[in-house]
Amino acid sequence: MKVKNICCIGAGYVGGPTMAVIAYKCPDIKVTVVDVNEARIKAWNDEDISNIPIYEPGLEDLVAEARGRNLFFSTDVEKAIDEAEMIFISVNTPTKTYGLGKGKAADLKYIELCARQIASVAKTDKIVVEKSTLPVRTAEAIKSILDNTGNGVKFEILSNPEFLAEGTAVQDLLNPDRVLIGGGTDEDGFAAINALVEVYANWVDREKILTTNVWSSELSKLTANAFLAQRVSSINAMSELCEKTGADVSEVARAIGMDSRIGSKFLKASVGFGGSCFQKDILNLVYIAKSYGLHEVADYWEQVVIMNDHQKRRFAVNIVKTLYNTVSGKKITFLGWAFKKDTNDTRESAAIYVADDLLNEQANIAVYDPKVSDQKILSDLNYLETRSEAENREGIEVNQDPYEVCKDAHAIAVLTEWDEFKGYDWQKIYDNMKKPAFVFDGRNILDGEELRRIGFVYKGIGR
């Protein structure tokens, strides 16, 4: 079967870029991305391409080429489901904030809503693709809902987890290390798998398209994120030991990374990992392991998150201690708020937690991020519910000018590794700061020696 019409439910960080690439690479397939969030869809359809809701290098060009040709963004979910042969579910699956599994399990309410909507609308057979990251065995639940509430049409469920990283989404999608497709092991299952293989084969080498059973595919996604996050927590754990012993974590990372069994990627010590995936997916893994009675497995993986929380907290504590044990009334400038460079996404960004700790110490925080709006920064803090919205507004100031934001600060903290920070006139920044002028480089991106020469007290991570 050759797919001609695709629908994707969820126009977020995954649905948007993924479908833009499919549409760009497969001009014969009509791709409709739908969302209940009207503002988001409006932004995707904005005539001014720079207003699309997600910032990713290269994304604007793809959308500009495919939008209106074979790529469409709409709020008419039912029409898109009705017309499509293949439906991707790419909605959010956040950590549950209530009830059973609160704080760990994935909240599958949006997934279930999608399944019920697909079942009620579908009048022809459909292939339903899990693109969202889901707990292993979710396909079983989706299948049960579809078969029990549908109109007697046939549904095949595939798992096709997404491995893109934000900030490099377009490159990752155009040139993936692999594409993973899990499906049923009977004839209909194989036919559905093949239909999706044929879509990807338009631009991905067939050797890179892996097919597995559904459960392996679902679990591989959680496993990949757990392994990646584990590397960051491992190097961050070493960074603390480096600070005590005179070792330099960058040198240690380089030395171990040259061992081909270890590899050099994902060994950058930092203020802690953020993003919408790592913590959520590990906690979900922990919950799943516990629900099978595998307590040692659960504890092993939970430690990755515990270590990450420690790394964020100790960054804030270090600022307070270094500034003579008080930051009360002092201006501390944050360079960066996004959870990594080249994205406007701030979900679970370390900056939020470091700011929260410093506000508890009565610091005045000033923030500059090249892609994050002031409303977003404030709403990230309000979401924590540590203090009133008025108090957050009082304690935090956002400035669009990197030099203004550093003026009169006692300390600068680098929270995101935006390239532009490296090229600033640090002498000019130093001249306008309170003395002694401190820099806490949570990403180890600045030239510490040069900053010390200017007069800064410079502190990196793990050195």
* Numbered residues of the known binding site: 10-15, 35, 40, 91-95, 132-133, 162-166, 221-225, 261, 268-274, 277-280, 339-340, 347, 443
Distance between CA atoms of residues 142 and 159, nearest Å:
11
Q: Least distance (Å) from ligand UDX to the CB of residue 451? A: 21
C-alpha atoms less than 13 angstroms from C-alpha of 216 in its C-beta half-sphere: 10
User: Could you tell which of ligand NAD, ligand UDX, none binds residue 285, using a CB distance below 5 to 8 A set by kind?
Assistant: none
CB-nearer residue toward ligand NAD: 84 or 366: 84
Which residue matches tokens 């959870």? 339
Contacts (CB under 6 A) with ligand UDX, residues 271-300: 273-275, 277-278
Q: Is residue 232 at the binding interface for ligand UDX, with CB under 6 A as the rule?
A: yes
Which of the following is catalytic: 7, 242, 277, 406?
A: 277
The span of 104-112, 152-160, 163-171, 195-203 binding ligand UDX (CB under 6 A) equals 163-171
What's the DSSP call for residue 320? Answer: H
Distance between CA atoms of residues 199 and 3, nearest Å:
7
Strands of 193-291, DSSP E: 209-213
Interaction site with ligand NAD (CB under 6 A): 9-15, 34-37, 40, 77, 90-93, 110, 113-114, 132-133, 162, 164, 166, 276-277
Residues 323-362: x where in contact with ligand UDX by CB under 6 A, - otherwise, as a string: ----------------xx----------------------
ω before 436 within 30° of 0 (cis)? yes
- Contact 161/131 with Cβ under 8 angstroms? yes
CB-nearer residue toward ligand UDX: 259 or 296: 259
- Contact 236/306 with Cβ under 8 angstroms? no
Compute the C-alpha angle 94/284/36, nearest 5°: 20
Question: Could you give the residue ranges of the DSSP H alpha helices within 246-264?
Answer: 249-257
User: Could you tell which of ligand UDX, ligand NAD, none binds residue 340, using a CB distance below 5 to 8 A set by kind?
Assistant: ligand UDX
User: Could you tell which of ligand UDX, ligand NAD, none binds residue 274, using a CB distance below 5 to 8 A set by kind?
Assistant: ligand UDX
Distance between CA atoms of residues 192 and 122, nearest Å:
17
CB-nearer residue toward ligand UDX: 342 or 357: 342
Q: How many chain residues are in contact with ligand UDX, going by CB under 6 A?
A: 19
User: Could you tell which of ligand UDX, ligand NAD, none binds residue 239, using a CB distance below 5 to 8 A set by kind?
Assistant: none
- Contact 359/386 with Cβ under 8 angstroms? yes
Q: Is residue 378 at the binding interface for ligand UDX, with CB under 6 A as the rule?
A: no
Tell me which of 56, 162, 243, 369 binds ligand UDX, using CB under 6 A: 162
CB-nearer residue toward ligand NAD: 225 or 444: 225
Per-residue DSSP letters for 229-245?
HHHHHHHHHHHHHHHHH
CB-nearer residue toward ligand UDX: 194 or 223: 223
Tell me which of 36, 110, 121, 163 binds ligand UDX, using CB under 6 A: 163
Tell me which of 220, 233, 270, 344 binds ligand UDX, using CB under 6 A: 270
Q: Is residue 73 at the binding interface for ligand UDX, with CB under 6 A as the rule?
A: no
> Residue 55 corresponds to which tokens in the numbers above?
């910032």
- Contact 308/233 with Cβ under 8 angstroms? yes
CB-nearer residue toward ligand NAD: 37 or 399: 37
- Kindly list the distances between the CA atom of residue 431 and the CA atoms of 322, 403, 409, 435, 439, in Å, as whole numbers in the listed order: 20, 11, 11, 9, 13
Distance between CA atoms of residues 13 and 229, nearest Å:
19
Q: Which residues share a beta bridge with 99?
A: none
User: Could you tell which of ligand UDX, ligand NAD, none binds residue 33, using a CB distance below 5 to 8 A set by kind?
Assistant: none
Sequence-separated (6 or more) residues with CB below 8 Å from residue 152: none
The span of 74-82, 121-129, 157-165, 395-403 binding ligand UDX (CB under 6 A) equals 157-165
Distance between CA atoms of residues 88 and 399, nearest Å:
39
User: Could you tell which of ligand UDX, ligand NAD, none binds residue 270, using a CB distance below 5 to 8 A set by kind?
Assistant: ligand UDX
Give me the residue whose beta carbon is nearest to ligand UDX: 275
CB-nearer residue toward ligand NAD: 168 or 194: 168
159: left (phi over 0), alpha (psi -120 to 50) or beta: beta
Q: Is 8 annotated as catalytic?
A: no
According to the 3-state scheme, what is the secondary structure of 35-89? Answer: CCCHHHHHHHCCCCHHHCCCCCCCHHHHHHHHECCCEEEECCHHHHHHHCCEEEE
User: Per the annotation, where are the binding residues for substrate?
Assistant: 162-166, 221-225, 261, 268-274, 339-340, 443
Q: Which residues are catalytic?
A: 277
Positions that interact with ligand UDX (CB under 6 A): 162-166, 225, 228, 232, 266-268, 270, 273-275, 277-278, 339-340
